[in-house]
Chain A
Amino acid sequence: MRVVVDLTRCQGYGQCVFLAPDVFTMHEEALLYDLQPADERREHVLRAAAACPVQAIHLDRTASTPNDDREWAPVMEDGRIVIVGASLAGARAAEVLRREGFAGRLTMIGAEAGEPYDRPPLSKQVLTGQVPPEHTLLPRLREIDAEWLCGTPAAALDVAGKRVLLADGREVGFDRVLLATGTRARPWPDEAEAALEGVHTLRDARDAAALRRALGAGPRRVLILGGGFTGSEIASVCRELGLPVTLVERGPAPLHNAMGGVIGDVAAQLQREHGVDLRCGTTVTALEGDGGRLTGARLSDGSTIEADVAVVALGSVRNVEWLRDSGLAVGAWGVACDAGCRAVDSNGLVTDDVFVAGDIARFPHPLYEYQFMSLEHWGNAVAQAEVAAHNMVSDQAHRWPHLSVPVFWSSQFGVNIKSVGVPTFADEIVFAQGSRAERRFVAVYGYRGRITAAVTFDQAMWLEFYQRQIERAAPFPPDFRHVGGGADGGPVPARVPERLVATAGATVVVTGHDPAERRASLVHPG
């Protein structure tokens, strides 16, 4: 059977670990699990899923579920919908289309052969060897009933002619299309160096299998290029496996790009305590090899590192090349769309039949001054896919805006790190609850006197409260009496990476819980 936990929702109650300890494991609040447990475990897994207080555990639905949770009739019940990119966003959109009553033809086009699988485990339980890389298939939440064209990438999109062209020359016509081709790992820029044996990137299941083999072979040292979430998680796995590891990060601290320098410092300390040889403010200038095998690297500070495995974790590149001639607004940051997931063309006009979701999408967020953002978050891919699918079969009056506040999680060094909001959209940060020394805390970010984000280390239960504070643009710093200690000083500069600072104006608040009722409204000062 297949299992996936929506870790965006999970609050670390650990009920699943109690009831199926051989499927779910937990370190403090960091949950890891087997995505395809043996059928003998079925009863335990059912117990766990039933017990989850926030119902975050999703399993295969074997019988096709009737559309009884559908609240209204779609305007588009038949015709042909094509989804390009058959991974998390694509698969979820397909399920929602069927849930919403779309009964027409559905075609899934995917570059990867095989069924959709989940990526977050690839840098966690798969790399440690707990779960084999081929055991990460996503559960089927409902029967999709689609035609799967997998193993061949799409090569072009003809918006006017309403067709997708495949790399093997086939053409697939559509009435509506969803673009969900995600991202790939940014390769090491020097092709010859990147081709050395021992140099890895991590994005798909094959990458994970190769890296797992390399780590399992007991390398003398692993070099990680980049201290973002992926690089940091891989460093964590290496230490768990007892492997010496050097992590080279250009910025002042790991996670600095996503969470700013204050949390970056906590992350740096965490890494050093776990024995990571952490080099910040440094870059790798060259990878070196001998006879086609990696032997080490040269760093910008003049030093050298000997390593037989290197992982290039320098962020990602959006899979948009195939859309270059489509006439859509496509760039390094993805495909631009409106908050309803409709693609925008290069003139800035919204299209009617082309929708975008997941890591590839670039959308304006009302809570963050309508700035366009691209999020590479599991939760965003799911939420946006649901909104996109809904809107694909709805008329204007019934469309939903994608207003969910971004939530991200990561598990590393035994800590469950979660964030809500956009931590880089901040000028100050305050440790609001818990204790920095114990690495159990809630840190709250503020921008011009309102709360814009929060980060928790093993304190996920409080996250939703801060999400509501973000939605109602509550004042920063939080000035209420509360439980949970947190006398860790007052607000300090958040030290976030440079970005365009928008002008002060109206404040946006978001109301409503379900996608159907979420609305943003402007609150003007004075």
Chain B
Amino acid sequence: MNVLKQILDPAARPDPYRYFGALRESPVTVQEDGTYLVSTYREIVALLHDPRVSSDRRNLSAGAPAEQDDFNPSFIGLDSPEHDRLRGLAMRHFGPPHSPETVERLRPKMLELTTALIDALKGRTRADIVDEVAYPLPVAVICALLGVPEEDEPRFHALADEVVETLGPGEEDRAERERARKAAAMELSRYLAGLAEARERAPRADMLSGLITYRGPAGGMTRDEAVATSVLLLIAGHETTINLIANGMLTFLRRPDLLRRLRDDPELIIPAVEELLRFEPPVQFVSSRVALDDITIAGTTIPAGAPIVLAMAAGSRDPAHVDRPDEFDVDRPRNEHLGFGGGVHYCFGAPLARLEAQIVLKELVRRLRGPRLVADPPPYRPSAVLRGPRHLVVEYDGID
């Protein structure tokens, strides 16, 4: 069986890393379907910064496997300069240079939400970290950011769940899931379009109002663009953050010494989250790239029009890039990882995700008394791309 197939096999979900060594032996390999898989750090970084590499699947040469037939004009699937224009317009309401304080201002909200979620674990000794903490937090934060009214949250939540639950390739009932995802995404778009319309009439201090109303010297977003961007923000930031939190708890609980150090020195959560992004990255593969021209890399020529898959999780554990790559080491100096991608598509929400993960993991470590895993490995979600535990049941002695 070829290595990629082994990795995609659900049985490999708890530990795909043992296959990465074999994968990296050839930095670039062609798969049966003509996809080029790249697995070494340097080559991945080079391609992420290579202007001959497109994120727009419409550039696939005919006959290549198409991921999407409907086209979603959100900037994750567009190239510069269109990508830069839309990302810049979105960034205007999210980060520097125009709104450098937005994420920082969400911090109290994140802590408040986290505190409430952990408070709810009181009075018993067993909980599912995924369902009860990691899962509810990211949507609540996105709602606060976008400006989804609290009374709409249940509806929004349900749709969001539906979209992300059905996300992720490499599974059997793909066509069916794809249909369900599209229907939910459509419904979510409709919901957000309605909300955008309301904000257009009566803007508030939220991101959706900003996206829909802002007009600069070079114009603003159309309503479709604003809605597509909102849907993207929701989806791109959802499952990824859940997995980071769940992978984090799992990694810590497997290492009692580490757990002790984190408890004694809460500042350590900062490098710990970076190391998690390297060691157990929620996004294991970036599968959206297309070669615009022939690209020769590490001795292989990727032909124009060919799809490219970047094995980020393999790259971040490339021994040519990091020492002792399979060790979780919070003291690693200069931790450069591929957890959030790189180049112009570098994760838009990274600062938010980092802060969320830092806060919730720090609080879990601080407040759970004597936590231990009930099942190791835990059950995993089916996706090999957005990889993480489906449940993470822990037992504990109490909540501080």
Closest residue to B102 on the A side, CB-wise?
A: A18
Q: Taking the complex as formed, is B333 at the interface, i.e. its CB lies under 8 A from any CB of chain A?
A: yes
CA distance A348 to B351 in the complex (A): 54
- Choose one: A15, A50, A55, A462; the contact of B51 (CB below 8 Å): A462
Asked whether A26 and B336 contact (CB < 8 A) given A46-B267, A51-B274, A482-B293, the answer is no
Report yes or no: A53 in contact with B342, Cβ–Cβ below 8 A. yes
Report yes or no: B354 in contact with A14, Cβ–Cβ below 8 A. no
Report yes or no: A481 in contact with B79, Cβ–Cβ below 8 A. no
Taking the closest CB of chain A, its distance from the CB of B301, in whole angstroms, is 12
Measured between beta carbons, the chain B residues less than 8 angstroms from A17 are: 95-97, 100
Contact-size category for B = 35 or more
CA distance A485 to B344 in the complex (A): 14
Report yes or no: B49 in contact with A434, Cβ–Cβ below 8 A. no
Asked whether A18 and B49 contact (CB < 8 A) given A27-B97, A50-B270, the answer is no
CA distance A69 to B271 in the complex (A): 18
Measured between beta carbons, the chain B residues less than 8 angstroms from A513 are: 42
Report yes or no: A484 in contact with B46, Cβ–Cβ below 8 A. no
Report yes or no: A55 in contact with B46, Cβ–Cβ below 8 A. no
Which residues of B from 67 to 103 have beta carbons under 8 Å from A? Answer: 79-81, 84, 95-97, 100-101, 103
Closest residue to B94 on the A side, CB-wise?
A: A18
Report yes or no: A18 in contact with B51, Cβ–Cβ below 8 A. no
CA distance A294 to B301 in the complex (A): 65
Report yes or no: B344 in contact with A25, Cβ–Cβ below 8 A. no
Report yes or no: B340 in contact with A53, Cβ–Cβ below 8 A. yes
Measured between beta carbons, the chain A residues less than 8 angstroms from B351 are: 15, 18-19, 51
Report yes or no: B104 in contact with A482, Cβ–Cβ below 8 A. no
CA distance A17 to B104 in the complex (A): 10
Q: Taking the complex as formed, is A468 at the interface, i.e. its CB lies under 8 A from any CB of chain B?
A: yes
Closest residue to A414 on the B side, CB-wise?
A: B97
Asked whether A461 and B270 contact (CB < 8 A) given A483-B51, A483-B292, the answer is no
- Choose one: B49, B292, B354; the contact of A461 (CB below 8 Å): B49
> Considering residues B97, B342, B343, which has the most beta carbons from chain A within 10 angstroms of its beta carbon?
B97
Per-residue interface assignment for chain A, residues 468 to 508, with 1 indicating a CB less than 8 Å from any chain B CB and 0 otherwise:
10000000000011111100000000000000000000000
Report yes or no: A21 in contact with B51, Cβ–Cβ below 8 A. no
CA distance A407 to B358 in the complex (A): 35
CA distance A19 to B102 in the complex (A): 10
Which residues of B from 309 to 352 have beta carbons under 8 Å from A? Answer: 333-336, 340, 342-344, 346, 350-351
Taking the closest CB of chain A, its distance from the CB of B250, in whole angstroms, is 21
Taking the closest CB of chain B, its distance from the CB of A95, in whole angstroms, is 13
Q: Taking the complex as formed, is B304 at the interface, i.e. its CB lies under 8 A from any CB of chain A?
A: yes
CA distance A442 to B344 in the complex (A): 14
Q: Taking the complex as formed, is A13 at the interface, i.e. its CB lies under 8 A from any CB of chain B?
A: yes
Inter-chain contact total with CB atoms closer than 8 Å = 106
Which residues of A from 430 to 455 have beta carbons under 8 Å from B? Answer: 432-435, 438, 440, 442
> Considering residues B96, B218, B344, B346, which has the most beta carbons from chain A within 10 angstroms of its beta carbon?
B96
Measured between beta carbons, the chain A residues less than 8 angstroms from B50 are: 465
Measured between beta carbons, the chain A residues less than 8 angstroms from B100 are: 17-18, 21, 25-26
Report yes or no: A483 in contact with B95, Cβ–Cβ below 8 A. no
Report yes or no: A482 in contact with B51, Cβ–Cβ below 8 A. yes
Measured between beta carbons, the chain A residues less than 8 angstroms from B343 are: 461
Q: Taking the complex as formed, is B52 at the interface, i.e. its CB lies under 8 A from any CB of chain A?
A: yes
- Choose one: B46, B267, B304; the contact of A481 (CB below 8 Å): B304
Q: Taking the complex as formed, is A43 at the interface, i.e. its CB lies under 8 A from any CB of chain B?
A: yes
User: Main SS of chain B's interface residues?
Assistant: loop
Report yes or no: A14 in contact with B293, Cβ–Cβ below 8 A. no
Q: Taking the complex as formed, is B393 at the interface, i.e. its CB lies under 8 A from any CB of chain A?
A: no
Q: Taking the complex as formed, is A47 at the interface, i.e. its CB lies under 8 A from any CB of chain B?
A: yes
Closest residue to A478 on the B side, CB-wise?
A: B51
Report yes or no: B270 in contact with A481, Cβ–Cβ below 8 A. no
Report yes or no: A50 in contact with B335, Cβ–Cβ below 8 A. yes
Chain A: residues with Cβ within 8 Å of the partner, total of: 40
Closest residue to A42 on the B side, CB-wise?
A: B267
Measured between beta carbons, the chain A residues less than 8 angstroms from B95 are: 14, 17-18
Measured between beta carbons, the chain A residues less than 8 angstroms from B246 are: none
Taking the closest CB of chain B, its distance from the CB of A515, in whole angstroms, is 15
Measured between beta carbons, the chain A residues less than 8 angstroms from B49 are: 461-462, 464-465
Measured between beta carbons, the chain B residues less than 8 angstroms from A14 are: 95-97
Q: Taking the complex as formed, is B53 at the interface, i.e. its CB lies under 8 A from any CB of chain A?
A: yes
Measured between beta carbons, the chain A residues less than 8 angstroms from B79 are: 483-484
Measured between beta carbons, the chain A residues less than 8 angstroms from B342 are: 53
Q: Taking the complex as formed, is B230 at the interface, i.e. its CB lies under 8 A from any CB of chain A?
A: no
Which residues of A from 49 to 68 have beta carbons under 8 Å from B? Answer: 50-51, 53-55, 65
Closest residue to B295 on the A side, CB-wise?
A: A480
- Choose one: A15, A53, A464, A484; the contact of B336 (CB below 8 Å): A53
Asked whether A47 and B270 contact (CB < 8 A) given A25-B100, A55-B334, A55-B335, the answer is yes
Closest residue to A18 on the B side, CB-wise?
A: B351
Taking the closest CB of chain A, its distance from the CB of B117, in whole angstroms, is 22
Report yes or no: A485 in contact with B81, Cβ–Cβ below 8 A. yes
Taking the closest CB of chain B, its distance from the CB of A414, in whole angstroms, is 9
Q: Taking the complex as formed, is A115 at the interface, i.e. its CB lies under 8 A from any CB of chain B?
A: no
CA distance A468 to B335 in the complex (A): 23
Measured between beta carbons, the chain B residues less than 8 angstroms from A432 are: 51
Which residues of B from 275 to 305 have beta carbons under 8 Å from A? Answer: 292-293, 304
Measured between beta carbons, the chain B residues less than 8 angstroms from A18 are: 95-96, 100, 103-104, 351
Measured between beta carbons, the chain A residues less than 8 angstroms from B218 are: 438
Taking the closest CB of chain A, its distance from the CB of B274, in whole angstroms, is 5
Measured between beta carbons, the chain B residues less than 8 angstroms from A484 are: 51, 79-81
> Considering residues A17, A25, A47, A55, which has the most beta carbons from chain B within 10 angstroms of its beta carbon?
A47
- Choose one: B101, B270, B336, B358; the contact of A55 (CB below 8 Å): B336
Asked whether A461 and B333 contact (CB < 8 A) given A17-B95, A19-B351, A27-B97, the answer is no
Taking the closest CB of chain A, its distance from the CB of B272, in whole angstroms, is 9
Q: Taking the complex as formed, is A78 at the interface, i.e. its CB lies under 8 A from any CB of chain B?
A: no
Q: Taking the complex as formed, is A145 at the interface, i.e. its CB lies under 8 A from any CB of chain B?
A: no
Taking the closest CB of chain B, its distance from the CB of A444, in whole angstroms, is 11
Measured between beta carbons, the chain B residues less than 8 angstroms from A433 are: 51, 80
Taking the closest CB of chain B, its distance from the CB of A510, in whole angstroms, is 15
Q: Taking the complex as formed, is B114 at the interface, i.e. its CB lies under 8 A from any CB of chain A?
A: no
CA distance A434 to B85 in the complex (A): 11
Measured between beta carbons, the chain B residues less than 8 angstroms from A465 are: 46, 49-51
Q: Taking the complex as formed, is A28 at the interface, i.e. its CB lies under 8 A from any CB of chain B?
A: yes
Report yes or no: B81 in contact with A481, Cβ–Cβ below 8 A. no
Closest residue to B334 on the A side, CB-wise?
A: A55
Taking the closest CB of chain B, its distance from the CB of A413, in whole angstroms, is 14
Taking the closest CB of chain A, its distance from the CB of B218, in whole angstroms, is 8
Report yes or no: B80 in contact with A434, Cβ–Cβ below 8 A. yes
CA distance A480 to B54 in the complex (A): 13
Asked whether A13 and B346 contact (CB < 8 A) given A19-B351, A54-B336, the answer is yes
Report yes or no: B104 in contact with A21, Cβ–Cβ below 8 A. yes
Taking the closest CB of chain B, its distance from the CB of A287, in whole angstroms, is 38
Closest residue to A55 on the B side, CB-wise?
A: B334
CA distance A18 to B81 in the complex (A): 23
- Choose one: A15, A43, A481, A485; the contact of B350 (CB below 8 Å): A15
Measured between beta carbons, the chain A residues less than 8 angstroms from B274 are: 50-51
- Choose one: B53, B97, B354, B355; the contact of A483 (CB below 8 Å): B53
Measured between beta carbons, the chain B residues less than 8 angstroms from A47 are: 270, 354, 358
Taking the closest CB of chain B, its distance from the CB of A477, in whole angstroms, is 14
Closest residue to A69 on the B side, CB-wise?
A: B333
CA distance A339 to B79 in the complex (A): 40
Which residues of B from 192 to 233 have beta carbons under 8 Å from A? Answer: 218
Measured between beta carbons, the chain B residues less than 8 angstroms from A26 are: 96-97, 100
> Considering residues B80, B274, B293, B343, which has the most beta carbons from chain A within 10 angstroms of its beta carbon?
B80
Per-residue interface assignment for chain A, residues 1 to 38, with 1 indicating a CB less than 8 Å from any chain B CB and 0 otherwise:
00000000000011101110100011110000000000
Listed A/B pairs (10) with beta-carbon separation below 8 Å: A14-B96, A18-B104, A19-B354, A25-B97, A25-B100, A50-B270, A433-B51, A434-B80, A481-B293, A485-B81
Given contacts A47-B354, A53-B346, A461-B343, 15 further A-B contacts (CB under 8 A): A13-B346, A14-B96, A15-B351, A26-B96, A50-B270, A50-B274, A435-B81, A462-B51, A480-B51, A481-B293, A481-B304, A483-B79, A483-B80, A484-B51, A484-B80
